Amino acid sequence: QVQLQESGPGLVKPSGTLSLTCSVSGGSFTSGTWWTWIRQPPGKGLEWIGEIFLSGSHYNPSLKSRLTISLDKSNNQFSLSLTSVTAADTAVYYCAKNGVPWYFESWGQGILVTVSS
């Protein structure tokens, strides 16, 4: 059973960059596996951020201009970078492993990131 763990700063200043890493254990970054970031503002619903696999990525169009998701196969990690953040980006951020097709079979515990000065 794969395990995922998010890490990164819990506080980011407005207009700054939110950077998170997801460490994966019990699994490997094979060519057929997709990895995803999802977020949940406090008290609200889930929002898909984007996904990555070895040779490509897909981003939520509403975040695409500020978003980069990257993969570090050698360290079994994938990362999220979101620029020009505002208070609206305050959320619990989850990383997840995709099942095939089109679902999220394993989730990290989540990390709360607050955007505030």
Partner 1 sequence: QSALTQPASVSGSPGQSITISCIGTSSDNLVSWYQQHPGEAPKLIIYEVIKRPSGVSHRFSGSKSGNTASLTISGLQAEDEADYYCCSNAGGPVILYVFGTGTTVTVL
- The CB-of-18 to partner 1 minimum distance in angstroms stands at 19
Query: What is the C-alpha separation between 1 and 39, in angstroms, rounded?
Result: 23
- The CB-of-117 to partner 1 minimum distance in angstroms stands at 27
Could you tell me which of 107, 76, 83 has the C-alpha nearest to residue 1? 107
Measured from the CB atom, the residue of 28 and 103 that comes closer to partner 1 is 103
Q: Which of 18, 52, 78, 108 binds partner 1 (CB under 8 A)?
A: 108
Window contacting partner 1 (CB under 8 A); options: 13-21, 44-52, 66-74, 80-88 = 44-52
Query: What is the C-alpha separation between 15 and 74, in angstroms, rounded?
Result: 31
Q: How far apart are the first and last CA of the chain?
A: 39
DSSP state of 59: E
Query: What is the C-alpha separation between 43 and 35, in angstroms, rounded?
Result: 25
Window contacting partner 1 (CB under 8 A); options: 25-33, 68-76, 79-87, 103-111 = 103-111
Q: Is 104 a binder of partner 1 (CB under 8 A)?
A: yes
List of residues contacting partner 1 (CB under 8 A): 36, 45-48, 51, 58, 60-61, 94, 99, 101-105, 107-110
